[in-house]
Amino acid sequence: MTATQEAPVAEIGRDRRRKEDQRLITGRTRWTDNLTLPGMLHLAMVRSPFAHANITGIETQAAKSAPNVVAVLTGRDVADDQGSLITAWPITEDQKSPTHLPMAVDRVAFAGEVVAVVVARSAAEARDAAELVDVDYEELPAALDLKQASDDTVLAHPDLGTNKATFWQLDSAGQGSGGAVDEAIEAARAEGVLIEREYRQQRLIPAFMEPRSIVCDPTGEQISLWSSTQVPHIVRFALAATTGVPESKIRVVAPDVGGGFGGKLAIIPEEWITFCVGRRMGKPVKYTETRSESLMAGHHGRDQWQRLTLAATKEGRVTGLKVDLLADMGAYAALVGTGVPVLGAWMFNSIYKFDAYQFNLTPVYTNKTWVDAYRGAGRPEATYAIERLMDELAAELGRDPLEVRAANWIGHDEFPFTTVAGMTYDSGNYDAATEKAKQMFGYDELRAEQRRRREAGDRVQLGIGVSTFTEMCGLAPSRILGQLNYAAGGWDHADIRMLATGKVEVVTGTSPHGQGHETAFSQIVADRLGVPFEDVEVLHGDTQVSYHGMDTYGSRSLVVGGEAVVRAADKVIEKAKPIAAHLLEADVQDLEFSGGRFGVRGTDKAIGITDIALAAFTGHDLPEGAEPSIDASASFDPDNFSFPHGTHLCAMEVDTETGGVTMRKYVSVDDIGTIINPLIVSGQVHGGLVQGIAQALWEEAVHDDSGTLVSGSFVDYLLPTAADTISFETDHTTSPSTYTMLGTKGVGEAGTIASTPAVVNAVIDAVRHLGVTDIQMPCTPERVWRAIHDAGAGGADPTTGAAAAHFDESTGTSGTADRTTGGAQ
């Protein structure tokens, strides 16, 4: 036992390739759909082709007689078992939430809703037989357009009497007064600058790589459910709450999951149906959705209309912001769907200081698939609005957009800073991130080039887009969630098991689906306990292994789950200390822990923590009263969110004759506090950027007049590939969070939140001199061309935005637009 051992290299901050990569990238893992159990049956769903219809009859005989069909069950057949799927976040006490049965019984409320399920010996036979189920529908008028639906002329659910779920407000002048913001608006109208705009957040589809798949095995002591989900703990809770089966009798396993992006943050009808059918059959059953089902009937994201009024002085100081938001809920209140726009409510003010703010939210039901979290959930929508508005303000004042932002943002010496929306930001340095981004981007040079090209009247014009964003992540302080009527807490949990062989097992309540927790959490534990990175194993995603947890979403896993790991590690050290003192024949007070070893100050006597784990395991020589284990557990509930920020700069070239757009340069400087694994972080930023850029340029879920999803395949829903993007330049600054022991902030959504406005601002900046002040997303060549054409034809309306006046949802043909069109080189 000596203290003279080399201290391990610091793991935190080190580029580590992901431990998970080998099995994930080579496809050697077992996805849910790979699972085959003895005697397993297969399910296929029968789905409504109508957006809104009464079910007047279902004929199942032909399907039942099909080869190898074991059963056909309709909603009525399981009526006694069915309860409404839960919504965890009714945002007000009086929120109206339509009953959401996993299988419709009398009426369907969106195209794709399940009306029956076929059980067969193979998936192919189940699908073939599903075609034979004959459902009689009586079509009803459908509420499809968000704005029209808010007028209640056609009801998505006639029994609710309205499409409006509720009304929710945040008002800096006190609930409902509106005084402060109205005063700011009137003052700006009289002698300042007033920017009034209406922006559309189009509907998006969280198109993860692995479609959802579920296996239920009811044959054991417990009912086991494997699901490609982000939230095994929430699924277990929801199944117990809606089926009456005790939680302790349900095991939910999320094996390796091929992405989620919020789209697997739910208890989905298909999970409930698979669980229910498995129990009824008494045999293992499996359901795997097709890609078409995934796009059509999984939940969608965004889908809002934002009416915005920004008040400022002539000198460019923002004085107030009013937001009136219509949010499409789709047919049902999803798990956290109504809460998504509420998350945005605290972000419209972003990094800017002003005194008057009012946010008015009306969530509206329509006859389309329901809307829930999609990467960023509420925060990208808010960031888009404010970052577009700041550009409009700069344009109105004829000033540089970064200069106008800098004049309004919180100074780095002003933290912690409580915003007009009531959030207290932990830390940040907007000047530093912006300066770094400007240097990397070559901001001044590109502005000079832009001027030259404008003066020369080039066909291809250059635009520069800015987004100086912040977001709140690390969902979430339970206390705040409680105040917001959220049904659960926001804590997370970790167990650390110090094995006798010197290895360390870490159990986390988070449930990664591509984020690399096994690697990053191993790095944290390796540093904290001074053990080799390779000796740490991180377990997750099985409620039997990780009994407590709140899963993965809201960029929470590191700042909540990772902090629980830190605290558990510290408890391990505390537990090991008296044993170390005993074995070293020293006083506890004289011990210091460093590099994985307890040493006696002033001597060379020391003992490694893994030796203490072995000593505890044998129990041969422990101090009086010591447990024969140094394992420890910790739950962590954050005091606050964490507030990453950054500056993103984008250069776009726009062909003024074709409307084609080409990205030339993208620079991001993110500040996420302490970074655990820079390689993982840069992967997260890159992936996030692509998703945000895709909203700006390509993706849109389009329904036709009957409510059928037109962009129902990847031919029409333009999910980008690596070939569609350029090589991004990413870097960071570091303002450690003051709310986490490691100083970390989340990163999983930052790229998506920041990039959409940067890109659209760049496209508009390229053609602003032609009179264009707005182009609705996605900025397809057609929309860009129309905006330029209409502005040139005198159609530009500086108050409402040229293209907004011409935006026609029915011709919103982004689904068939060619993303390579344009050829602006």
Bond prior to 416 in cis (omega within 30° of 0): yes
Bond prior to 778 in cis (omega within 30° of 0): yes
Which residues ranging from 166 to 225 are in contact with ligand MCN (CB under 6 A)?
A: 208
Query: What is the distance between the alpha carbons of residues 340 and 265, in angstroms, rounded to a whole number?
Result: 12
**Closest approach of Cβ 521 to ligand MCN, in Å?**
7
Nearer to ligand MCN (CB atom), residue 235 or residue 680: 680
Nearer to ligand MCN (CB atom), residue 687 or residue 778: 687
Sheet of strand 606-608: strand arrangement: 591-594, 597-600, 606-608
Query: What is the distance between the alpha carbons of residues 263 and 118, in angstroms, rounded to a whole number?
Result: 25
**From candidates 178, 262, 298, 707, binder to ligand MCN by CB under 6 A:** 262
**Closest approach of Cβ 277 to ligand MCN, in Å?**
28
Q: What would you report as the CA-atom Rg of the chain, rounded to the nearest whole angstrom?
A: 28
Query: What are the distances in angstroms from CA 436 to CA 59, 428, 732, 747, 779?
Result: 66, 14, 8, 19, 28
Which residues ranging from 687 to 726 are in contact with ligand MCN (CB under 6 A)?
A: 687
The residues facing 669 across adjacent strands are 647, 731
Is 740 exposed, middle or buried, given 0-12, 13-18 or 19+ CB atoms closer than 10 A?
buried
Give Cα 410 to chain centroid, integer Å. 26
Cα dihedral 117/121/124/127 (nearest 10): -10
Nearer to ligand MCN (CB atom), residue 268 or residue 747: 747
Nearer to ligand MCN (CB atom), residue 260 or residue 596: 260
- Single out the segment in contact with ligand MCN by CB under 6 A; choices: 3-11, 122-130, 713-721, 740-748: 740-748
- Single out the segment in contact with ligand MCN by CB under 6 A; choices: 30-38, 57-65, 128-136, 549-557: 549-557
The residues facing 593 across adjacent strands are 598
Query: What is the distance between the alpha carbons of residues 397 and 386, in angstroms, rounded to a whole number?
Result: 16
Do strands 318-330 and 356-365 pair parallel, antiparallel, or not at all (unpaired)?
parallel
Which residues ranging from 655 to 694 are in contact with ligand MCN (CB under 6 A)?
A: 672-677, 680-681, 684, 687
**Closest approach of Cβ 593 to ligand MCN, in Å?**
24
638 scored as a contact of ligand MCN (CB under 6 A): no
Query: What is the distance between the alpha carbons of residues 15 and 678, in angstroms, rounded to a whole number?
Result: 5
**From candidates 95, 552, 647, 756, binder to ligand MCN by CB under 6 A:** 552
Nearer to ligand MCN (CB atom), residue 296 or residue 689: 689
Nearer to ligand MCN (CB atom), residue 75 or residue 673: 673
Which residues ranging from 553 to 592 are in contact with ligand MCN (CB under 6 A)?
A: 553-558
Nearer to ligand MCN (CB atom), residue 316 or residue 549: 549
Which residues ranging from 369 to 408 are in contact with ligand MCN (CB under 6 A)?
A: 375
399: tokens are: 């000033």
Residue 571 CB partners (closer than 8 Å, separation 6+): 496, 632, 633, 634
- Return the amino acid letter for 60: T
| Exposure of 627 in the CB half-sphere (CA atoms within 13 A) | 9
CB 316 within 8 A of CB 398: no
**Closest approach of Cβ 680 to ligand MCN, in Å?**
5
Give the number of residues in contact with ligand MCN, rule: CB under 6 A: 35
335 scored as a contact of ligand MCN (CB under 6 A): no
- Single out the segment in contact with ligand MCN by CB under 6 A; choices: 161-169, 346-354, 593-601, 739-747: 739-747
**Closest approach of Cβ 661 to ligand MCN, in Å?**
26
**Closest approach of Cβ 558 to ligand MCN, in Å?**
4
Nearer to ligand MCN (CB atom), residue 223 or residue 689: 689
Q: Which residue has the tokens 């190898």?
A: 68
Nearer to ligand MCN (CB atom), residue 721 or residue 799: 721
CB 427 within 8 A of CB 737: yes
CB 523 within 8 A of CB 493: no
Query: What is the distance between the alpha carbons of residues 91 and 333, in angstroms, rounded to a whole number?
Result: 10
**From candidates 747, 767, 772, 784, binder to ligand MCN by CB under 6 A:** 747
Nearer to ligand MCN (CB atom), residue 371 or residue 520: 520
The site map against ligand MCN for 222-261 (x = CB under 6 A) is -------------------------------------xxx
Nearer to ligand MCN (CB atom), residue 82 or residue 677: 677
138: tokens are: 């009586």
Which residues ranging from 492 to 531 are in contact with ligand MCN (CB under 6 A)?
A: 513-517, 520
Query: What is the distance between the alpha carbons of residues 640 and 739, in angstroms, rounded to a whole number?
Result: 7
The sign of the torsion formed by the CA atoms of 15, 16, 20, 26 equals: positive
**Closest approach of Cβ 371 to ligand MCN, in Å?**
15
**Closest approach of Cβ 32 to ligand MCN, in Å?**
15
The residues facing 461 across adjacent strands are 654
CB 232 within 8 A of CB 252: yes
Phi-psi category of 422—alpha, beta or left, where left has phi over 0 and alpha has psi -120 to 50?
Answer: left
Sheet of strand 41-47: strand arrangement: 69-74, 114-120, 41-47, 285-288, 213-217, 223-227, 250-253
DSSP 724: G
**From candidates 102, 477, 599, 748, binder to ligand MCN by CB under 6 A:** 748
Nearer to ligand MCN (CB atom), residue 75 or residue 509: 509
The residues facing 605 across adjacent strands are 2
337 scored as a contact of ligand MCN (CB under 6 A): no
**Closest approach of Cβ 415 to ligand MCN, in Å?**
18
**Closest approach of Cβ 333 to ligand MCN, in Å?**
20
CB 154 within 8 A of CB 344: no
Nearer to ligand MCN (CB atom), residue 555 or residue 695: 555
The site map against ligand MCN for 421-460 (x = CB under 6 A) is ----------------------------------------
CB 668 within 8 A of CB 437: yes
Nearer to ligand MCN (CB atom), residue 259 or residue 502: 259
Nearer to ligand MCN (CB atom), residue 218 or residue 746: 746
Do strands 250-253 and 223-227 pair parallel, antiparallel, or not at all (unpaired)?
parallel
Positions in the binding site for ligand MCN (CB under 6 A): 208, 259-262, 375, 513-517, 520, 552-558, 672-677, 680-681, 684, 687, 744-749
